[in-house]
Structure 1
Amino acid sequence: MTSATNSSIRLDKRDLILAKGAQVMTRRGYHGTGVQEIVQAAGIPKGSFYHYFASKEDFALQALEHLYAPRLVRYAEALGNPALSPRERIVGYYRELMVHFARQEKPEYHCFIGSLSFEMAELCQPIGTQVESILQRSVEILAQCLTAAREAGELPAETDCAALAEFIGNAWEGALMRMKVGASAAPLNVFLNQLERLLTPR
């Protein structure tokens, strides 16, 4: 077996642990999840966990990046689509997400970053810092698209795009939380309707 093959197997196993372990930690919480639960979900011996992660905290930090780095790439691609106007990119992105949740008989949203932020942001500085970094990167992507919308005349010239991106991002996270609590996509409909009004040229 070549070293390249060994490296691929190692990477695949690490990704499996990250994916399965994050699912468990999202449902049970950071404190409610032990290494034993993580390895059971991944179907690996407990000793294998420590080949990849120094601790449960290290696992959580790596899982955040593993899950959200690709999502941020997709977000940037969607909001950078040259075939659509900046406003169409933003509204279209959130409309697609809303349609996804609306298709579910009982809308469910299990958010790893949300779970960690509520439970651990104040208790563990490295995790809080990582969560904030991911959220800030998302806001910056949106702010860039809003700036393009302003330059295209789709927003007033005096628009503070950074502040508007923060507001939209926070509103979306709040709508997702309300959807989870109420098991209804209605908060997402409200969000989208207000987003369209907010981004309609005047």
Structure 2
Amino acid sequence: MTAPKKSELTRSRILTEGRALVLANGFGGVGLTELLAASGVPKGSFYYYFASKEAFGSAMLTDYVEDYLAALDAIIARPQPAAERMNTFFNAALKSDAGSMADRCLVVKLAAEIADLSEDMRQILDQGVTAVCERLAQLLREGVEDGSVIAQNDPDTAAALLYSQWLGAAIIAKLSRRPEPLEQALADTRRRFFI
């Protein structure tokens, strides 16, 4: 395995620092000066990697979606009943080292902000949500096969509604600064889906 090139490390640092700033302040709340200072790169270096702030946002969201799906895929690959894997995924939404889903989810943070701001960014998040829902539908189907999940008439629709419920719960948890909406979503998920 070869070591990453300096240019790859610099680009990665800009994206990592940028993601943290966007999670804290929103996309519109992050200025280029602040991003450059946090990532320790000069203005010219930023434009070497990204043609614009929107191009940076698209790259940041692409990386975020890839990371999110990779983490979900790792859970899906576990040799456990589907209900246990779903429980692991949703339980992680309540707490992790980075906080709850309300604190660390860029869909929760940016969906309303970027939907009218950038078509490219909107599409990246929308495709990411679609991919998550497809994976949840897969788990629902596997759960019926392994006997751990209650059969759904339409697993695709059930998965989309389930994820919508969680996004709504995360938004309400963020507004209220209380974990109860996410805790209620987990209890409801277990009640409606797990055998």
Instruction: Normalising by structure 1, report the TM-score.
Output: 0.85
Aligned match of 1:62 in 56, 59, 64?
A: 59
State the partner residue of 2:137. Answer: 143
2:95/2:101 contact within 8 Å kept: no
Aligned match of 2:25 in 12, 23, 28?
A: 28
Q: Is the counterpart of residue 113 in structure 1 residue 107 in structure 2?
A: yes
State the partner residue of 2:173. Answer: 179
State the partner residue of 1:93. Answer: 89
* Consecutive unaligned residues in structure 1, runs of 5 or more: none
State the partner residue of 1:11. Answer: 8
Quickly say closer, same or farther: Cα 1:22–1:160, change in 2 above 3 A: same
RMSD of aligned Cα (Å): 2.4
- Note the alpha carbon deviations across 1:167-196, whole angstroms, 9 max, x for none: 111111111111111111111111111011
Instruction: Provide the C-alpha distance between the structure 1 equivalents of 2:185 and 2:170, rounded to a whole number of angstroms.
Output: 10
Aligned-residue identity in percent: 26
Instruction: Provide the C-alpha distance between the structure 1 equivalents of 2:33 and 2:118, rounded to a whole number of angstroms.
Output: 21
1:107/1:185 contact within 8 Å kept: no
Instruction: Provide the C-alpha distance between the structure 1 equivalents of 2:47 and 2:95, rounded to a whole number of angstroms.
Output: 40
* Consecutive unaligned residues in structure 2, runs of 5 or more: none
Quickly say closer, same or farther: Cα 1:168–1:116, change in 2 above 3 A: same
2:133/2:159 contact within 8 Å kept: yes
Instruction: Provide the C-alpha distance between the structure 2 equivalents of 1:194 and 1:9, rounded to a whole number of angstroms.
Output: 47
Instruction: Provide the C-alpha distance between the structure 1 equivalents of 2:95 and 2:119, rounded to a whole number of angstroms.
Output: 36
State the partner residue of 1:37. Answer: 34
Instruction: Provide the C-alpha distance between the structure 2 equivalents of 1:71 and 1:49, rounded to a whole number of angstroms.
Output: 25
Paired residue total:
194
Instruction: Normalising by structure 2, report the TM-score.
Output: 0.88
